[in-house]
Amino acid sequence: MNRTPFSLFAALWLAGAGAVSAVENTPLPPGKLRTSGSASAVYSGNGALTVTINRPHSNPEIRIFAPEGGKYWDMSRGKYFAADVTNLSHDRQARLFLLLRTEVPGNKGHLNAGIALNPGETRTLRVALPHQWKYATPEKIPGQRTIDTARIVSIDFNLKGWYEPLEPELVRCRLSNIRLEGKLTPEENASPIHMKGFYPFSDLYGQYVHGDWPEKIHSDADLKKEFEREKAELAASVRPAEWDEYGGWKNGPQLAATGSFRVEKYKGKWYFVDPAGHLFFSHGLDVLIKHTDPVKIDGHEHWFPAEIKPWVYSHRGATCYQATERSLQVKYGKKDYDDDFYKTLAKRLEHWGFNSVGDWGSPDLMAQGKTPYTLQLTDFDWTMPRLGKKFYDVYDPVYQDKMKNLFKIAAERNPMVYKSVDDPMCIGYFIDNELDFGNRRNFAFLRDVMTASADKSAKKAFVAGLRVKYGTVEALNKAWETGYRDWEALLSSNTVPKSRGLRIDMEQFFSRTVELYFRMCRDAVKSAAPDRLYLGCRFLSLDATRPELAVPCAKYADVSSSNIYGHTPANFRVEGMPDRPILIGEFQFSTSLPGRGRFAPNIVAGSTEKERATAYLRYLQGALLHPNIVGAHWFQFRDQPLTGRSDGEGFQTGFVDIADTPYREMTAMSREIGENMYRYRINGKYSDGMKSE
């Protein structure tokens, strides 16, 4: 079997880390501390900083300002910012989020990164500094964000995206040896904006021209050579020995075999159970399709080389280029390569240790019959009557009619939906993604209902319920401290009274509304496919820990799905929540500069692919040891386009790059996880690698 074992992988990682630490270091002196929320911090005699976050709510944060006499931290000549971090807990993982804050507001003015550590572990949080003087490019060029590293206002540590329980000392870490690594001289490293011939900056393969990395494709011959290497590796690969035909734990306990996926609690931990009756942890990838968004070139043809002209086409009224499409045609030697690609992809997943197709997978991959899959019956439907930013008016007859016919509508769009009803490889169905129910931002649901027009179905349902409760408008006015003339006046009003009575009534209506939503979703699944699982609505992190959402979801969904964007889900809140299985629908990590080209970082986990792979390991270890988490799906299979997808995202978050070259550090790590995840989960102990003692 031609693959990198973990012991060798770890050695390579340590060698890489050592190479970085061997460069010139510039210690940063202790700065002025300011804490907020439930965070505290104290310097010890040797300059180390002990950080504690108690009961993480109200945005706990530690900010380190420049020492007396200085307004800014000047990091303009360092290559990396680094700090050694020790998790002082003896029994749980810790995560910490770093923010290098400038005076420019919003994400474009800051640099963020983060780390997760096992109990007692010390590791370096390292991020490459995106200097404006080195990496700035002409205006309106999408891609890597840069910051003014000479004017860093503060070095901040927090949790960001809090979803943990309100516990004392949830995070207790020691930060030491805070430093700059490497030395850069601005005069010797001119920004690409000053280069002669900056344009075109994207090559034929969709890669950044002004950057290089070992796996970069320079010619069609490189593409073919890399593909031959990978084909030989896949041919030599064998299926993980612990897996049954579904990717479940063949050598684990034998439970009832029902012929369908289900969920069951076993020895204090929730699991999927596969059709053969074996425990199943869903280790998957999202967006498993041949390529993602095409790049629009209208108005900026000079970004691209002239060689793309034979490959340019019209898409939705725009002139587009799909670099990955061209690369795949070259790799497979033909235009109609889909069947070969998806056969290769199915083998890739097995070789990489993935046993699940996450959301937005291709029907062509599912039809291979090799890998269990999930389906989404609908993403958020913007054509439906809405209430607020991203939620439906679930009382509207148009929406209710759609939900009664949702399965049929989805099957007409995707024939795999019909097949999935009787396909044991189908795990179940998602409905929607990252809804905004209106319970964030000071209970926006209240405003959305009260300011709605009189013909809005949700408002009519609310007022109808009030008439039943109060009987007369006078009784309502007394409870709300208002002066409505009659019920029609309330329906027609678009003002929001400041009333405790209104708040109580709206909270009750919100509860009924959310329950109605989940009940209709459950019915949409079970009426058509009673043997398949309803996997929830893919909450956005914190929403899954709100009782007003978690309770009705658990009442109707077989599994609560949540997109948990942090560096570990290990401490994901379950206290006070329904005891239900949780499936992580999305998570991801990027590297910071230099990366592979100019992809923008998103959830940064270090400066190298080795550090990104270690972050992936820690995340999965946290998920595996959590008693309620039954799977985790990485978003997404392929890097996003260099110049951004349709909504502007251009993140380096793939297991393969834009030219379809695998990130070998990531695939070696995912294989290690896939081979050992069942015994690791059963053993229930953190360890550096996946092979539990």
Of residues 523, 691, 547, 543, the one with CA closest to residue 161: 543
Residue type for position 299 = G
- Count other Cβ atoms within 10 Å, centred on residue 115: 28
Q: Rounded to 5, what percent of the chain is helix, strand, coil? A: 30, 20, 45
In the sheet that holds 154-158, the strands lie side by side as 32-36, 61-65, 154-158, 94-101, 111-117
Residue 646 has pLDDT above 80, yes or no: no
Chain-centre distance for alpha carbon 155: 24
How long is the chain? 693
Q: Give the DSSP H/E element, type plus range, for residue 156.
A: strand 154-158
- Phi and psi (nearest 5°) for 424? -65, -15
CA distance 587 to 191: 32
**Contact indicator for 352, 656 with CB cutoff of 8 Å:** no
Q: What is the pLDDT of residue 19?
A: 39
* CA dist., res. 484 & res. 202, Å (int): 63
Q: Does the pLDDT at position 138 exceed 50?
A: yes
Mean of pLDDT values over 496-507? 97
Say how many Å lie between the first and final Cα of the chain, rounded: 24
pLDDT at 324 over 70: yes
Global pTM?
0.95
Q: Which two tokens stand for residue 435?
A: 């809804």
Express each pLDDT in 214-249 by its tens digit.
899 999 999 999 999 999 999 999 999 999 999 999
**Sign of the C-alpha dihedral computed for residues 282, 284, 288 and 292 taken in this order:** positive
SS3 string, 641-668, reads CCCCCCCCCCECCCCECCCCCECHHHHH
Hey, what are 634's tokens? Answer: 């990485």
Q: Would the CA dihedral through 286, 289, 293, 297 be positive or negative?
A: positive
d(CA 555, CA 577): 12
What's the sign of the alpha-carbon dihedral 184, 187, 189, 192?
positive
In tens, the pLDDT along 392-418 reads 999 999 999 999 999 999 999 999 999
Of 323, 73, 369, 110, give the one whose Cα is nearest residue 207. 323
Could you give the CA distance from residue 494 to residue 452 in angstroms, rounded to a whole number?
6
Predicted local distance difference test score (pLDDT) of residue 596: 80
Q: Are 19 and 11 contacting, i.e. CB atoms less than 8 angstroms apart?
A: no
Give residue 492's pLDDT.
Answer: 97
Percent of the chain having pLDDT more than 70?
Answer: 95
DSSP secondary structure letter of residue 108: G
- Please count the other Cβ atoms lying within 10 Å of the Cβ belonging to residue 173: 24
**Dihedral (C-alpha) 231, 237, 243, 244: value to the nearest 10 degrees?**
70
pLDDT average, residue stretch 281-293:
95
If residue 96 lies in a helix (H) or strand (E), which one and from where to where?
strand 94-101
Distances (CA, A) of 526 to 351, 429, 631: 34, 10, 22
Q: Tell me, what's the pLDDT at 1? A: 35
Please state, in angstroms and as integers, the Cα–Cα distance from residue 305 to each residue in 200, 261, 302, 580, 597, following that order.
6, 49, 7, 53, 16
Contact between 152 and 651 (Cβ < 8 Å): no
Which of 337, 345, 294, 340 shows the shortest CA–CA distance to 319?
294
What's the whole-number mean pLDDT along residues 471-494?
98
pLDDT at 2 over 50: no
pLDDT tens-place string over residues 371-385: 999 999 999 999 999
Inter-axis angle of helices 664-683 and 609-624, nearest 10 = 20
Question: Which has more pLDDT, 418 or 14?
Answer: 418
Residue 615 DSSP one-character state: H
Question: d(Cα 90, Cα 412) in Å, to the nearest integer?
Answer: 53
Residue type, 516: L
* Residue 87: per-residue pLDDT: 98
Residue entry with tokens 């007692």 = 120
172 DSSP β-pair partners: 52
Q: Specify the residue for token string 């992936």.
A: 616
Residue 128 to residues 106, 287, 442, Cα–Cα distance (Å):
19, 28, 37
Which residues share a beta bridge with 117? 94
pLDDT reading at 4 higher than 50 = no
Mean pLDDT of the chain: 93
Given a cut of 70, whether residue 211 has pLDDT beyond it is yes
Contacts of 32 (CB under 8 A, 6+ apart): 64, 65, 66, 67, 68
Task: From residue 635, give the alpha-carbon distance in Å to each of 199, 242, 265, 440, 492.
Answer: 31, 25, 27, 24, 44
Tell me the helices (H) and strands (E) count for the chain, helix number first. 17, 26
454-482 pLDDT, tens digit each: 999 999 999 999 999 999 999 999 999 99
Return the pLDDT at 602.
86
Cα 192 to Cα 172: distance, rounded to the nearest angstrom: 42
User: pLDDT at position 381, please?
Assistant: 97
**Cis ω before 569 (30° cut-off from 0):** no
Residue spans of alpha helices (H) in 192-290: 220-236
Q: What angle do CA 415, 417, 419 make, to 5 degrees?
A: 80
C-beta separation of 625 from 690 below 8 A:
no
Tokens of 175: 């930060």
Instruction: Report pLDDT digits (tens) over 518-547.
Output: 999 999 999 999 999 999 999 998 999 999
